[in-house]
Structure 1
Amino acid sequence: MRHHLTMSIVAIDHVQLAMPAGEESAAVAFYADLLGIAQVPKPPHLAKRGGCWFEHGSLKVHLGVEADFRPARKAHPALLVDGLAALVVRLREAGVPLADDEPLEGYDGVYVSDKFGNRIELLEPLEWT
């Protein structure tokens, strides 16, 4: 049976990454303190599960506790950055390892891993439109 529905996926609401239990302070140190993405409260019915949420404008990054945690090493979110050079300096000063790769056309970029080993791409457009 075919359904003729009109629909459209319009955007990503949030990105969820996994983290080990009890490491919320390390998540805050990386995502809020280093990357500058503010921590926001989780809804009460989800808070008991652990983890933490971060938001800046339309960017939403959720970290959820995974019992048998293994970091995402290939799969990753790519975060747009305004001021990548300054962020790179901040990350280096904090001892965060950075990995260069051939950037996407039209972008400058670098890869980092959070405190748990999750891979994150940081991109800055060469020209903002």
Structure 2
Amino acid sequence: MKLLGLHHVQITIPVGKEEKAREFYCGLLGLEEIPKPENVLSAGGFWVSLNDVQLHIGCYERAISPDSKEHVAFLVDSLKKWMTRFENAGVYPVKGKPIPGIERFDIRDPFGNRLEFLEQKKQI
């Protein structure tokens, strides 16, 4: 018996903010929206996919804590290019504490969800 992989992660956005979330996640991040099963459509939100892992963006009434450590981390090919993309969109990255072999930064989506972006560096 073993775990086979990660299927999905869910984050929350305020009820009624799906279009703003689509602009951010599908537009700015370039994630592909995938169909939700019909039996869960009434819950609101939407699902996106990155390779074999899904990100479920659900609607909820609670506020997101700005100090929360909860986050999704995206592996990227060029941290510098993503940093420039975010800055051009008015989203300002905050560099994280160093981790050997990894460069990284965090941003907050328009709803306060923390997102980490990291690039693995070759060890010499």
TM-score clears 0.5: yes
| Conserved 8 A contact 2:6-2:53 | no
Q: Does 1:45 align with 2:45?
A: no
Q: Does 1:125 align with 2:120?
A: yes
Counterpart mapping for 1:87-106 below 5 A: 87-106=82-101
Q: CA deviation at 1:42?
A: 1.2
Which residue of the other structure, out of 49, 55, 68, is the alignment partner of 1:55?
A: 49
* Off by >3 Å, runs of 4+ in structure 1: none
Quickly say closer, same or farther: Cα 1:10–1:82, change in 2 above 3 A. Answer: same
TM-score (norm. length: structure 1): 0.86
List gaps (5 residues or longer) in structure 2. Answer: none
More strand by share: 2
Mapped partners of 2:64, 2:112: distance in 1: 8
RMSD of aligned residue pairs (Cα, Å): 1.7
| Conserved 8 A contact 2:44-2:59 | yes
Counterpart for residue 19 of structure 1: 13
The structure with more radius of gyration: 1
Counterpart mapping for 1:26-41 below 5 A: 26-41=20-35
Mapped partners of 2:65, 2:14: distance in 1: 9
TM-score (norm. length: structure 2): 0.89
Counterpart for residue 109 of structure 1: 104
Mapped partners of 1:67, 1:51: distance in 2: 12
Match for 1:8: what amino acid?
K
What is the percentage of aligned positions where both structures have the same residue? 35
Paired residues in the alignment total 122
